[in-house]
């Protein structure tokens, strides 16, 4: 994988998370393909298409009106398939900061995305989120 492609992927995520953190839901949804799928494994929830993603995000919006949300993603592992699709696995932490500056940590997640090009731009075709849990003893 070229350095240019790696940097493009990092810039894609920086832009995508900035849209989500600023609660620009339409802009965030536009970073997915029209038929993009978001699968929250821990909830058994699969959102299929931009419309379902937007509906879910709008329903959750009141929870985020009184806090500042930040998504902290890191440890990207990127593999390019023969078809040009990129499989990107990374860790994600969500923080919520209230009016007093108190920070609350949400769960951490292992995320796997498939990115594809649509009209020359990267888009998320699928996102699978798995909430971190200790292994059963």
Domain limits, the chain: 3-131
As a whole number, mean pLDDT of residues 75-80 equals 97
β-bridge mates for residue 14, sequence order: none
Share of the chain above pLDDT 90, in %: 86
Report pLDDT for 112. Answer: 98
The span from the CA of 43 to the CA of 59, in Å, is 16
User: Confidence band (pLDDT; 50, 70, 90) for 137?
Assistant: low
User: Confidence band (pLDDT; 50, 70, 90) for 42?
Assistant: confident
> For the structural domain made of 3-131, what CATH number should be given?
3.10.450.50
Structure tokens at 21: 């953190």
- Please name the residues in contact with 106: beta carbons below 8 A apart, sequence gap of 6 or more: 93, 94, 95, 96
User: Confidence band (pLDDT; 50, 70, 90) for 133?
Assistant: confident
- Token pair 């990107």 in the structure block, residue: 88
Q: Are 35 and 48 in contact (CB under 8 A)?
A: yes
- Please name the residues in contact with 23: beta carbons below 8 A apart, sequence gap of 6 or more: 61, 64, 69
């Amino acid at each position: 994988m070229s350095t240019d492609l790696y940097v493009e992927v990092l810039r894609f995520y920086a832009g995508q998370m900035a849209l989500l953190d600023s609660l620009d839901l339409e802009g965030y949804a536009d970073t997915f393909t029209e038929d993009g799928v978001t699968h929250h494994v821990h909830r058994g929830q699969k959102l299929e298409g931009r419309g379902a993603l937007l509906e879910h995000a709008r329903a959750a919006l009141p929870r985020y009106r009184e806090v500042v949300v930040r998504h902290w993603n890191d440890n990207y592992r990127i593999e390019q398939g023969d078809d040009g699709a990129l499989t990107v696995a990374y860790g994600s932490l969500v923080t919520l900061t209230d009016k007093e500056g108190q920070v609350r940590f949400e769960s951490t997640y292992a995320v796997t995305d498939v990115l594809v090009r649509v009209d020359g731009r990267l888009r998320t075709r699928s996102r699978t989120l798995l909430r971190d849990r200790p292994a059963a003893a």
